Structure 1
Amino acid sequence: MRAARFDRYGPAEVLYEARVPKPVPEPGQVLVRVHATSVNGGDLHIRAGRVKVLTGRKFPMATGVDFTGEIASAAPGLEVGDRVWGLRRAGGVAAEYIAVDPDRLSLAPKGLDLVEAAALPVGTTAITALRDKARLKAGERLLVRGAAGGVGAIAVQLGHAMGAHVTALTGAGTVDLVRELGADEAHDYRRADPAALGSFDVVLSTTGTGLPTYRRLLSPRGRMVTIAFDTDHPLPSLSDIAGAHRALEAGGVRVLPA
């Protein structure tokens, strides 16, 4: 079958179409014929080699996490031909077929075609961050960094739907878009003074830079969820996140990886 691969880190041009064996599902897995896959920030950072201290140099590498497709082998609750969407944390979904655990997919929404739907599995990160990790409540103040990205755009809409007051940081060109998505306040992150934004019950950061600055904006019982780390300094950044989690949780302030 055809699958996307790359033999070295670099720009999009390093990707090529490879011929690889069609996967054989392990017991309990489902075979999916892939219809579409999205390209998210993590895919770009890995392919560019920005986190090679973590991903290593064992090539060729596969790419892609989010997918839509049709069931190619029946499983409990699923029939051949069912339209599904999901994600596979092990990656490699940019291929004609993938073998995936059934708990990593579900039936795709009927109101979207499979190309449109492929852009949305990344949004489950926002659900995990705000509902499960931060336990956002109606009336709380929420700050979303990177509010026009794949996760941030969903987080703005979800925070609004959950009854929070949503403040969004985004690029100058997407301020109006983010307001349309439901942000009560939207600011150009390049011009905004963090200290002037006020305090927040929940901070969701989709970018890994400047975390200590935004950590200081948390209210006494505030919760900060970060889904990213500084890719230019991955190990110090991850160490900072882990250390902040341990140090602040006892005082009621939480710094949580999503």
Structure 2
Amino acid sequence: MEGFIDKWSISKEKVELIITDNAPNIVLAAQSTFGKDKHVPYFDHTLNLVPKAALGHKTINRDLVPNVPGVPELNKKVKAVIAFSHKSINFSDEFKRVQMQRGESEGTCLRLLQDVPTRWGSTFLMLCRLMKMADIISLVALKFPDVQMVSGSEMESRSSIKDILEPIHFATTEMGAEKHTTASKAIPMAYLIEKRINEVNIPASNALATAFKTFVKNELKRRFGALQSVIPHSAATLIDPRFLKITSLIQLPTAEPSLT
């Protein structure tokens, strides 16, 4: 990084802030060059680490033990059903026939979506489509003994997991905008995500969904619990005209804690 700023004749003293992802080598380079007080992790990237870890796309231990035991196995079972629907022409035709029987046209019939391991958002979209078409899937699966259908309790878990992921998916889409600034939205977004997740009602008997919710809440708190104390984000929120009516609720900090 030193070579880069020398090449472009950038004075380190004139750099007010540097925003990076959370890759250890990038963080080390930024902080070593400009100092910890000028480094802020990219909010959207940090937020995306939470569902990745919860879904099993990313682990936080060297033994590769799932962060929420049972979730990767359930994902695998769901993906198997979807893979069968894509490979079997008979299943696909029957799936379309039932939809048309219920009023859909040839061009509006839907297919099940398969997720991509490197993109947790595709898992959320997969679950959305799965829940929307659940009754049709169950009906069609009765004619195909080779399909290991997801049970009612597993479907309930999938529904709760989808509801927990929904506000995070919305936030990542909103924060990924290219035509307007988003730094001022970080604090409000973090608050609304936590609020929406707290509102997701999960039956006490659903241990898997409960564990998923607990993990996500703890990770959000660990990563964003001190967000209001991060001066760049607080300052951006305070001066954003959209939030002028609520600035009295936000206090600008006197110190700069770390945000990881």
More strand by share: 1
TM-score (norm 2): 0.26
Structure of higher CA gyration radius: 2
